[in-house]
Structures are given as structure tokens and as C-alpha cells.
Amino acid sequence: MKKKFEIGRIFRILSGLLVLTIFTSQCFSQSPAKSTNENSARQYGELLSGLLQFVQSNYVDEVDPAVLYRGALKGMMESLGDPYTVYLDQSSYRSLSDTTEGTFGGVGLSISKPFESTPDKPAYIEVASPIEDTPGYKAGILAGDLIISVEGIDTSTITMDEVLDKLRGKVGEDVHIVIRRGKNMEFPVTLTRAVIEVPVVKYGMIGSIGYMRLIEFTPNTVTRVQEALDSFKKNKATGLIIDLRNNPGGLITSVSDIANKFIDSGVIVSTKSRLAFENQEFKASKMKTTWGSSTPIVVLINKGSASASEILSGALKDYKLAYLVGQRTYGKGSVQQVLPLSSTDGIKLTMARYYTPSDVNIDKIGIPPDREILFPVLSEEGEKQSLELIKSNEIETYVENHPNMSEKQIAEYANVLKAKYPDIDSASLRKLVRNQNNRLKGAMLYDLDYDVQLNEALKILEKEDFYKLVKKTKTLKQLQDEAILEDSSKDGNSSKDDKKGKKK
């Protein structure tokens, strides 16, 4: 009996494999004339469908078809090697919808995850930017920090969806993460989930200069920017600072409408794709321009400025309407569409690449500032001391016992810390104390004591010849052409050296 049973089972499995093999051979035995991409796509689709049915019928345990469906889609998106093209399962799709609507429950961190993980470079979660006045921001987490574990789980070993599931959840509950900053600093942080409301614009006057920080590009950003510009005009601003630091981007329609407030004619941004309907030009209209070119503009950028914020800074640079200060931007020059597959899941797919007015794509390159200004970098000993200070919780304890400290008191306590931690610069110590002092008050609009990039922007607008500076700047196309010429020159010299070596 047992032998008959085994023979019957083997026969059924072999029959299934035979059907699958025949099916496969039929799929790919087409004549060369029919071996087009269209035919290949249909054939592979039929093969996947047959394999799905075979696995579901023959796998040792009963399989939920949804598991196979999600696995196939996730693998399909990952095979493209594009970190921005992803399958959105129920949690991440809901997360994206919540963010678009403006409120969600979480810790307030914009994050990304590398596509590949290797022993030399594990795919830890990277903080693109903290959202202001959220648990992540108040805890002092910075753009560029790595989240190496969440709830005790190594983030390089789990997917972005799994990380999001752990960071998001019931409001009021704690999330335990470990942060890596720089090369050696690692420290635990406990974040209490809160209802996150995404702000889009903050603004105010710094003396006679209008200061406007754009946090994200949403449908609401356009209206808020105009409110800020109207306020600056009312206060007779003599210059404008647009702060795009740590702005992760947003809607291309939003950023093009905002750029149009400064640019009165020409292409603001163009998108290029192999699909004709994705090839678009977003052009400026003089009727929509609300800020005259007679008022100088400085734009602040850093490595957290990505996507739509690069579109705005690139357009203003190419038209020589603004002077860029800070650090090279992130370099995200592609456009994604979110395509729903059902009411609970979908895909985010890269459909095109965008180009600045001078016809340059900055993907993986970024936009360089016209004047690079960097914050002080801690030495190795400074990193160790910072780690020691963070773990000690002494700033939190001191501020708790001395609430509502004045600037004089903040400076005095920072000097006490300086004696104990000499390798941390004084401005950074004052900022740490000030941030802790202001935790319950909300984020400051600006911090002139610490912010060297903002101070440089003010100096340019108040003390330097802005128009002379801008006239000397180069468009992104000119910079790209110079870089190509320099590379070809290096290659040419290298070839000559090789030939000389061979003659010898």
C-alpha cells in the first residue's frame, strides 16, 4: 500500500513538473520574428501565472495566495535596482496616504533605505530629515543619522515596510531605536509616538531680511509661500532667504507653481521619459510671478535637500535669480507615480527623470552651492565626548531643574560643559542646551548663534554685492560641461602616460 501511495504521489508531482516544463518550452519556442519585448512580457506573465498555480497546489504547506502575490510584486520592483520604485503593501500604502493628507501617527522621521546590503556597507535606515516639532526632532535626531536597530532588530536585515510598521503605531507608546552618527557614535533613543502634523512653511523677518523655510512641497505649500511673500512685502524686506535644507521634496506641480512666483518666463523644469505622455515642460507665466527680480535671493541647501527642493534651487540657479549657500544637495532627479492596485496596496514607480532649465539631470550628482559653508566636524575625540554627553542625560537633567533658561544662562551652562567636554565646539554645546530648553515650546524659527550657513546668507545680503556675485555664477549645464571636459582631459593624460610607460 505504502509503495503504491509513494509511486502515486511521485507520479502526480512529475506530471505537474512535466506540464510546467512543456508550458515553459511553449512560452519560449517562438520564432525570432515574434521575439519582441511585447511577446516576451506576455510569455513571462503566463509563466509566472503557471508557476503561481503550481506552487500553490504543490507546496508542502497550504499557501495564502496573497503571500505569493506580494512576494512576486516586491521582487519585481526590487529587480529594477531603483530605490524609489517599490511595492507598497497595506502599511506603507496607508502611510503614504496619511502623509499626503497631512497627519499621521509616528515619530516624525523621513527615512530611506539602500537597495543593497553588504557586509562592508549594511543597508541601515538613513534619516533624510526629521520633521520639526515631532518626537524625532525633539530627540535631536539629525539628517544623515543611521537607525541601526529598532526594537532590538537590526534594520539592515529587515525591509523598509517592516521598519515603518515598528516606527508607526499607537500614539503614546514608546519606540526604542539605536542611532549611529558619524563613524563611531552609537547611542539609544526612546521616542514616544505622537500624531504627526506635517508643517510645510515657516517664515519671519530677520531684521530687514525675509526668511522662509520650506519644509515639504504639498498642495498647501503654494498658498503658504504666497502668505510669506505677502508678509515680507508688507514689512518692506530688502532681501529674501529661502531655506531648503532637509527638505525631502514633494509634488512637482507644487514646486513648479512656487518657482513661478520668482521666474516670469521660460521652462522651470522638464520631465523626460520613453513614454510620450510623461514628457512635459512646466513653463513660467508672467501673470503668476509675485516676487520681483529686483530683490536679492539666497537659497540655503544641504545634503538633505532632495527632489522638488532641487528643482527649485536648480531653476533659480540656472536663471541666476538666486545665490546658493551651504552644501551639495542629495541628488534625486527622478519622478515617481503612485499607482493603486487595490484599495489597500499599490506601487510607486519611477516614470521619468526631471531636467533643470539648462537641461541637466542631477540624479546621483546633486547641486553644488555657489558658496560652500559647512558646519564644524567633530574630531574622533569629539565624537567620543558627544556620545558620552548624550548617554549621560546631564543636559536633560539640568534643564529640567532650571526651566526657561535665558540665553545668558544657556551660555553659562555651555561653558561648564565645555570644561568637561573640551573637544565639542561651544556653539554645538549651546545648541544642545537651547534645544532641550525649548523642547516644550516648539522649534525655533532660526538659530543665529549656531547656524553658520544662515549667517553667511545674511552677510551676503547685507554686506556684499549680491548682483556681482550672481553674475559670476555658472548654470548647471556649464558646470556639467566643465566636469565632462575635465574628465576627458584626465583620461587623455592617463592614456599618454600609459604610452610613455610602454615605450620605456
Q: Which residue in 318, 345, 370, 451 is the catalytic one?
A: 318
Mean pLDDT of 289-314: 96
Cα(329)–Cα(392) distance, rounded to whole angstroms? 34
Q: Which of 22-26, 158-162, 402-406, 411-415 has the lowest mean pLDDT?
A: 22-26
Instruction: Please give the Cα distance from 317 to 351 (Å, whole number).
Output: 25
Specify the pLDDT at position 103: 56
pLDDT at 269: 98
Q: Which of 317, 332, 348, 431 is catalytic?
A: 332
Check residue 120 and give its pLDDT: 83
Q: What is the DSSP string of 442-484?
A: ---S--TTT-HHHHHHHHHHHHS-HHHHHHH---HHHHHHHHH
453 confidence band (pLDDT: 50, 70, 90): very high
Mean pLDDT computed over every residue of the chain: 87
> Higher model confidence: residue 500 or residue 277?
277
pLDDT tops 90 at residue 316? yes
* Tens of pLDDT, residues 128-138: 778 878 899 88
Catalytic residue flag (residue 318): yes
- Which pLDDT band holds residue 437 (cuts at 50, 70, 90)? confident
Cβ count near 87 (within 10 Å): 24
Confidence of residue 91 (pLDDT cuts 50, 70, 90): low
pLDDT recorded at residue 110 = 82
Q: Residue 348 — pLDDT band, cuts 50, 70, 90? A: very high
> How far is CA 332 from each of CA 90, 350, 408, 437, 456, rounded to the nearest angstrom?
26, 11, 42, 36, 26
Alpha helices in 102-220 (DSSP H): 135-138, 160-167
pLDDT per residue as tens digits for the range 38-84: 788 888 888 888 888 899 889 999 999 888 998 999 999 999 999 99
What is the pLDDT at residue 18?
45
Per-residue pLDDT reduced to its tens digit, 147-156:
999 999 999 9
pLDDT of residue 94: 66
pLDDT at 329 over 90: yes
Which helix (H) or strand (E) covers residue 66, if one does? Answer: helix 65-78
Task: Considering only residues 464 and 198, tell me which one the structure prediction assigns the higher pLDDT.
Answer: 464
Q: Count Cα neighbours of 90 within 13 Å in the Cβ-side half-sphere.
A: 4
pLDDT of residue 464 exceeding 70, the answer is yes
pLDDT for 17? 46
At 272, which helix (H) or strand (E)?
Answer: strand 267-272
Q: Extract the C-alpha cell encoding 290.
A: 509675485
Q: Angle of helix 308-318 relative to helix 476-503, nearest 10 degrees?
A: 90
* DSSP for residue 315: H
Segment 196-213, tens digit of pLDDT: 877 789 999 999 999 999
Q: How many residues does the chain have?
A: 504
> Does 307 qualify as catalytic in the annotation?
yes
| Low-confidence winner among 118-122, 276-280, 374-378 (lowest mean pLDDT) | 118-122
**Interval 157-164 mean pLDDT:** 86
Q: In this model, does residue 23 exceed pLDDT 60?
A: no
pLDDT given for residue 211 in this prediction: 98
**Of all residues in the chain, what percent carry a pLDDT higher than 90?**
62
Q: Which member of 254, 307, 386, 428 is catalytic?
A: 307
| Interval 243-270 mean pLDDT | 96
pLDDT at 440 over 60: no
Average pLDDT over residues 106-132: 85
Give the per-residue pLDDT at 121: 86
Confidence check: pLDDT of 215 > 60: yes
Q: Per-residue pLDDT for 30 more than 60?
A: no
- 454 or 503, which is more confident: 454
Q: Is 332 a catalytic residue?
A: yes
Residue 191: pLDDT band with limits 50, 70, 90: very high
Kindly state the average pLDDT of the residues 294-309.
96
∠ at Cα 310 (307, 312), nearest 5°?
115
- State yes or no: pLDDT of 224 exceeds 90: yes
Can you spell out the DSSP letters for 331-374? ---EEEEEEESSSS-EEEEEEEEEE-TTS---TTT----SEE--
- What pLDDT is attached to residue 170? 86
Summarize the confidence of residues 178-183 as an average pLDDT.
88
- Res. 502: pLDDT tops 60: no
Q: Is residue 393 very low, low, confident or very high in pLDDT (cuts 50, 70, 90)? A: confident
* Pairing assessment for the beta strands 297-301 and 280-283 based on DSSP bridges: unpaired
* Position with higher pLDDT, 21 vs 51: 51
Position 481 scores a pLDDT of 94
Rounded to whole angstroms, the Cα distance separating 97 from 342 reads: 13
For residue 148, what pLDDT is reported? 96
